């Protein structure tokens, strides 16, 4: 179980937090101490975490996939604790509607909030963390159309000044912030806030109308009429753009204004245009500014040499110095249109939903994730495999991953990253074998790869006799090198090697004799065979085609 706590003693009230999350996501069903209790930290718990539940839990706990019996036992255990060692609220899905759970919540003085079954837990966690972070930095400015604020404050002010309900999305149509909803919220708005895809028929209509292309091209406010047959209400939408360093326009997202029970205000389009400019500054600043946290993360992973003050870094990042951890590295095996920064953001989000105190950073063309307090190698491996498969299916990003676990403490993170890099370097040539692996599982490939790296840098270790063989193949269109390699791969079994090469055994025997004559190397000698395997592997590396 892990938590994230913001340095704000007063916290944010449960009511304020639920208002920000919106009734489309949450609905309180039990609040024994009222909804004014302060929330300063959040944790995501699954069934496995209950065995290691901390003595002082987070103020708000998100219970994912926890059976009702375990929830009841936990709440009863909390009832015996003093108030300062209990959470203030728990978020559940179907279990929250149980009368037994509600009764147990009353006994333990813990608020119970039901979460829409369709809501994605990673979306809910991200929204809670964003609200707590906003509270930690202080409230929004009074006039966000003239002074920069946060996106939630901006959405609320736009809703008040333009009429209707606002959602602000990133360039990939993920909701970043939104204003409060009322009963007139339609299905598209609800599904978007829940992190789900909108009705396919309506999305097809938007594509047919060229809405997304128009949003990317300029600052036009697009008026989308209602579609009664799809239960979709009228909307105004505008793109969010910023000018990149090279002078080109960069699309950062969009602002959607859904009409409620009343018509839009007369100047709604102008309000949206102004809000788009403010949103562009906020999003661009978050994307581009090298934050102190980013620099700390890079130092923790060993990107800026030695001499890192680990206790100070841990304190700034709010993670424990001691205790087991895991480091996972991801590398793109093929671009497939995916950007490293984009993939890094997606991995960071998924890691946060897996462990709320996880931290992630992009270094060069790789993404690294630290999972503090983690000791379960099977769980980390299963999560990593699932994420790699999901990113390939949904985004076309073909990733390789390497895991270092256990990492004794934060002082070993840089060494763990180096271990991960060794594995990723080796699996680049063995893909898809070893797509998700550890150094222990891939030690042969890693060590062999590093031996070949060493050979590649030492010209005096390149056997000139093999050059004659490669030159002969090139000049005569022959396949002697391939034939020798196939023979060695099958441990000297001519018939199996011939079958793999799809030639007659006598043809292979002739090729082997010819290779021996050209190189002067006798294949019957075990030392010669070992040397040949290394030299042929080195040649294959330098000439993969």
For the chain, give every domain's residue range. 2-134, 140-288, 309-441, 462-542
107-141 pLDDT tens trace: 999 998 888 887 878 778 877 877 777 665 554 44
How far is residue 39's CA from residue 155's CA, in Å, rounded to a whole number? Answer: 22
By CB neighbour count within 10 A (0-12 exposed, 13-18 middle, 19+ buried), where does 16 fall? middle
177 to each of 130, 208, 241, 377, how far by Cα in Å?
9, 27, 17, 35
449 to each of 328, 367, 446, how far by Cα in Å?
20, 22, 5
pLDDT of 221 strictly over 60: yes
257-293 pLDDT tens trace: 999 989 999 889 989 988 898 888 888 876 765 556 6
Nearest to 61 by CA among 20, 27, 110: 110
Q: Report cis status (omega within 30 of 0) of the bond before 432.
A: yes
Same fold? 309-441, 462-542: no
pLDDT at 255: 95
| Higher pLDDT pick, 53 / 367 | 367
| Statement: 462-542 belongs to CATH 3.40.50.2300 | no
How far is residue 515's CA from residue 441's CA, in Å, rounded to a whole number? Answer: 35
Nearest to 5 by CA among 88, 72, 115: 88
pLDDT at 9: 39
pLDDT of 335 strictly over 50: no
The mean of the pLDDT values for the chain is: 81
Instruction: Choose the weakest-confidence range: 157-166, 254-263, 301-310, 499-508.
Output: 301-310
Tell the CATH superfamily of the 140-288 domain. Answer: GAF domain (3.30.450.40)
pLDDT at 118: 79
CB atoms within 10 A of CB 91: 27
| Statement: 2-134 belongs to CATH 3.30.300.30 | no
By CB neighbour count within 10 A (0-12 exposed, 13-18 middle, 19+ buried), where does 479 fall? middle
Under the banding of pLDDT at 50, 70 and 90, the label for residue 50 is low
CB atoms within 10 A of CB 221: 17
pLDDT at 179: 86
Give 501's contacts (C-beta < 8 A, 6+ positions apart). 479, 482, 483, 486, 508
Nearest to 171 by CA among 286, 55, 313, 320: 286
Nearest to 340 by CA among 369, 371, 363: 363
Strand residues in 14-107 grouped as ranges (E)? 26-30, 38-39, 41-46, 60-64, 89-92
pLDDT at 2: 38
pLDDT of 485 strictly over 80: yes
pLDDT of 469 strictly over 50: yes
Question: Residue 488 has which token pair?
Answer: 């060695």
pLDDT at 149: 55
pLDDT at 140: 43
CA dihedral 8, 10, 16, 20 (to 10 degrees): 0
Tell the CATH superfamily of the 309-441 domain. Answer: Reverse transcriptase/Diguanylate cyclase domain (3.30.70.270)
Residue whose structure tokens are 């099977």: 378
């Amino acid at each position: 179980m892990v938590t994230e706590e913001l340095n704000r003693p007063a916290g944010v009230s449960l009511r304020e937090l639920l208002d920000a999350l919106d009734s489309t996501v949450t609905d309180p069903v039990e609040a024994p101490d009222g909804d004014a209790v302060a929330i300063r930290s959040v944790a995501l718990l699954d069934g496995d975490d209950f065995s290691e539940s901390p003595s002082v839990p987070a103020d708000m706990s998100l219970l994912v996939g926890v059976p009702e019996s375990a929830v009841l036992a936990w709440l009863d255990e909390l009832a015996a604790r003093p108030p300062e060692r209990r959470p203030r609220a728990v978020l559940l899905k179907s279990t929250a509607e149980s009368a037994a759970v509600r009764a147990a919540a009353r006994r333990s003085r813990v608020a119970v909030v039901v979460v829409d079954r369709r809501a994605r837990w990673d979306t809910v966690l991200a929204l809670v963390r964003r609200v707590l972070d906003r509270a930690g930095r202080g409230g929004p400015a009074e006039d966000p159309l003239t002074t920069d604020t946060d996106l939630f404050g901006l959405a609320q002010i736009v809703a008040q000044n333009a009429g209707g309900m606002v959602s602000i999305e990133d360039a990939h149509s993920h909701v970043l912030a939104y204003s409060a909803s009322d009963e007139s919220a339609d299905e598209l708005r609800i599904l978007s806030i829940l992190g789900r895809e909108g009705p396919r028929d309506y999305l097809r209509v938007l594509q047919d109308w060229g809405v997304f292309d128009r949003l990317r091209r300029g600052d036009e406010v697009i008026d989308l009429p209602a579609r009664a047959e799809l239960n979709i209400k009228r909307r105004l939408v505008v793109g969010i753009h910023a000018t990149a360093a090279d002078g080109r326009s960069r699309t950062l997202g969009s602002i959607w204004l859904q009409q409620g029970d009343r018509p839009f205000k007369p100047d709604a389009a102008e309000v949206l245009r102004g809000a788009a400019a403010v949103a562009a500054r906020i999003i661009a600043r978050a994307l581009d500014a090298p934050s102190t946290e980013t620099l700390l993360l890079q130092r923790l992973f060993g990107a800026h040499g030695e001499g890192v003050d680990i206790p100070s870094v841990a304190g700034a990042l709010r993670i424990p110095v001691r205790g087991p951890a895991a480091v996972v590295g991801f590398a793109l095996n093929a671009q497939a249109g995916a950007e490293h920064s984009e993939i890094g953001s997606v991995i960071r989000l998924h890691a946060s939903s897996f462990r709320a105190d996880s931290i992630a950073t992009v270094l060069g063309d790789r993404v690294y994730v630290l999972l503090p307090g983690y000791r379960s190698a099977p769980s980390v491996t299963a999560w990593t495999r699932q994420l790699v498969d999901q990113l390939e299916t949904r985004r076309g990003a073909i990733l390789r991953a390497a895991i270092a676990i256990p990492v004794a403490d934060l002082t070993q993170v840089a060494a763990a990253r180096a271990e991960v890099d060794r594995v990723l370097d080796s699996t680049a040539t063995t893909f898809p074998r070893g797509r998700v692996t550890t150094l222990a599982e891939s030690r042969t490939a890693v060590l062999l790869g590093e031996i070949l790296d060493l050979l590649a840098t030492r010209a005096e270790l390149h056997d000139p006799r093999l050059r004659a063989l490669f030159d002969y193949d090139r000049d005569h269109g022959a396949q002697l090198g391939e034939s020798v390699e196939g023979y060695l791969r099958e441990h000297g079994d001519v018939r199996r090697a011939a079958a793999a090469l799809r030639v007659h055994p006598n043809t292979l025997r002739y090729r082997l004799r010819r290779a021996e004559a050209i190189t002067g190397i006798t294949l019957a000698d075990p030392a010669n065979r070992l040397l040949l395997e290394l030299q042929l592997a080195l040649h294959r590396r330098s000439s993969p085609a």
